[in-house]
Structures are given as structure tokens and as C-alpha cells.
């Protein structure tokens, strides 16, 4: 059921709307599915994690409100089927949230970057988002309305020690976002991206072939949000706090997966009816801070 920390007394912002969320069975996608259903949307969870997706759908409501469809975003026919299923089951498609993605190999050197891994990351993160947008546009253009969202990353706003494949895929998402904004605006379709700071969920850490300790060390060294914590929903609160306690620049603030879901809620709702082409960065100011600032503080002390 919807957890109390994302339940509010505000009006249901997505009443009468239908959404597809790729990668919706876990992580940010799961949080978004919960929040969208809470705000009145009918949601189709699209994922390759069948058991998790089916269980989540059953937890959130009856099939008339929320359901699951198997969807490998690299497969054109799977996304075609997801869109067609949403329309046939719920009558329309208002929101397409292209959220599915992977981190890939964490190696940050060009000589050690694996060619097969590079292709796989781009195929899922970029090509999957392209296919999702393409099939959503197929039904939104005749309706002359709709909202297409992407999950980007703060990695597209910073430079340095980052995987070439992941960084390239998230930069490309912004290019996709910008082109679609111009083309689809004439049909009343809005297009936006949400770019969060990293959330080290078990799925991400396993995809990066890192254990929890290695992920903690990496994110602690890379972090910039002092006194704040990025809490992956698949870890308990204490573990999440320990995970990100060394990071931070925005003192006293806590970033949770539900915060990313709330960003998606805003962009999907009529509150953002004239917002299109935006890259909404949810990172506590990480992209504005340069490592030199920390080095200067150390010298001063």
C-alpha cells in the first residue's frame, strides 16, 4: 500500500490520467507507481522483473487501476505491446515515463571500458527510452496531448570519474528530450527529464558488479551533499544513512526516492501544464560543486 511518507492531504493530481512506467517494479519506478496511483492515475507497470512487478501491481490496487506487463525496453514489440495494452485496458495514454535503465560497468577509463558493456548500457538507457517515446507519440499525437518523461542523471551535468557508457547514455537522453520537445510541442505534448543524484539500490550495485562496501566507498568519495542522505528504498533507513552520510553540501536535507517520484508527479500533472523541455536536476546542488572547493577548505583548516 502507499506509505505514509508519500501520502498527502492534497487533491489527487492525476485523476483521470493513464500512465506507463518502465522499470516500474523497483527503485524510483516503484516509488513513482505508488505515488501516481495515490494521486488517481491508472498505471501500467512495465518491467522485466515479472514477480516484483506483479506483486507490486496486486499491492497497489485491482487490475482496473493498476496492472503489470512484461517489457524489455530494448525490444520494439514489447514497448509497442505496453502502449497498446494501456490504451486497450484503460482507454488512453497520458503519461509515458521512460525510467528503465542500468549503470553498467563502473570502470571510468577509456582503455578499460568494455565494448559490449558500452553497447548494452546505450541500448537499454538510450534506445529503450527512444522506443518508449516513439510508441507513446504514436498514440499521443492523434490525441494532441500527453506527457513524456525520462529518467536522466546528474552525470550528464558533471565531468570526471564516471563510466563512459552511463555518462554518454544520460547525455543522449537530454538530446532526445530536447528534440522531442520541439517536434511534439505542436501536438500539445510535453517532454521533460528528471536527473537525480545516484541512488545505490541493490539493483544498481549488482549491475555495477560492486558489493555494498565498494559502493559505499565510491559514493562517499564522489558525494557532495554534506549532512544529507540519499536513501535507496531497497535498503533500510540506517543502512541508507550510513551509505550517504559522508556526502553532502545541502545541510540538514534528506533526498529519498520518493522525492524523485514527486518531481515526476509535478511534471506529469497539470501543475506543469506549460513546462516542457526541462531537465529537472534533483541532486542537492551536487552539479554546482567542484572538488577544488573541498580542497580549498582542507588547506584553510
Phi, psi of 103 (to 5 degrees): -90, -35
Give the span between the Cα atoms of 150 and 250, in whole angstroms: 25
- The catalytic residue among 26, 31, 67, 153 is 153
Exposure string for 149-179, b = 16+ CB within 10 A, e = fewer: bbbbbbbbbbeeebbbbbbbbbebbbebbee
CB atoms < 10 A from the CB of 109, how many? 9
Distance in angstroms (rounded) separating the CA atoms of residues 233 and 259 = 11
Alpha carbon separation from 279 to 114, 116, 257 (Å, rounded): 29, 29, 17
Cell for 128?
529503450
Catalytic-labelled residue, pool 166, 167, 169, 276: 166
Among 17, 42, 167, 170, the active-site one is 170
Active site residue 90: no
Please check whether residue 126 is in contact with residue 154, taking contact to mean a CB–CB distance below 8 angstroms: no
Please indicate whether residue 159 is annotated as part of the active site. no
Which 3 state secondary structure label does DSSP give 66? Answer: strand
Based on the residue annotation, tell me whether 166 is a catalytic residue of this protein: yes
Give catalytic residue positions.
Answer: 153, 166, 170
Amino acid at each position: 500500500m502507499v506509505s505514509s511518507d508519500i501520502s498527502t492531504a492534497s487533491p489527487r493530481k492525476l485523476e483521470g490520467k493513464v500512465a506507463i512506467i518502465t522499470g516500474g517494479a523497483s527503485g524510483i519506478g516503484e516509488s513513482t507507481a505508488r505515488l501516481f496511483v495515490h494521486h488517481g492515475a491508472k498505471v501500467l507497470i512495465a518491467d522485466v522483473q515479472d514477480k516484483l512487478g506483479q506483486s507490486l501491481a496486486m499491492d497497489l490496487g485491482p487490475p482496473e487501476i493498476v496492472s503489470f506487463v512484461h517489457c524489455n525496453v530494448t525490444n520494439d514489440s514489447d514497448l509497442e505491446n505496453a502502449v497498446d495494452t494501456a490504451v486497450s485496458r484503460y482507454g488512453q495514454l497520458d503519461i509515458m515515463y521512460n525510467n528503465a535503465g542500468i549503470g553498467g560497468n563502473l570502470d571510468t577509463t577509456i582503455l578499460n571500458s568494455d565494448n559490449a558493456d558500452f553497447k548494452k548500457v546505450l541500448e537499454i538507457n538510450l534506445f529503450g527510452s527512444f522506443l518508449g517515446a516513439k510508441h507513446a507519440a504514436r498514440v499521443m499525437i492523434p490525441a494532441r496531448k500527453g506527457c513524456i518523461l525520462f529518467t536522466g542523471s546528474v552525470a550528464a551535468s558533471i565531468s570526471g570519474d564516471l563510466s563512459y557508457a552511463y555518462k554518454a547514455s544520460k547525455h543522449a537522453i537530454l538530446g532526445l528530450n530536447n528534440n522531442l520537445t520541439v517536434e511534439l510541442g505542436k501536438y500539445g505534448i510535453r517532454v521533460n527529464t528528471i536527473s537525480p543524484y545516484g541512488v545505490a539500490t541493490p539493483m544498481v550495485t549488482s549491475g555495477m558488479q560492486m558489493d555494498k562496501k565498494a559502493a559505499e566507498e565510491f559514493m562517499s568519495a564522489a558525494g557532495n551533499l554534506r549532512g544529507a542522505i540519499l536513501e535507496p528504498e531497497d535498503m533500510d533507513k540506517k543502512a541508507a544513512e550510513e551509505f550517504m552520510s559522508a556526502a553532502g553540501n545541502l545541510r540538514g536535507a534528506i533526498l529519498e526516492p520518493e522525492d524523485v517520484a514527486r518531481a515526476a508527479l509535478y511534471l506529469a500533472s497539470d501543475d506543469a501544464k506549460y513546462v516542457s523541455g526541462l531537465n529537472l536536476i534533483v541532486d542537492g546542488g551536487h552539479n554546482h560543486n567542484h572538488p577544488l572547493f573541498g580542497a580549498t577548505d582542507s588547506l584553510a583548516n
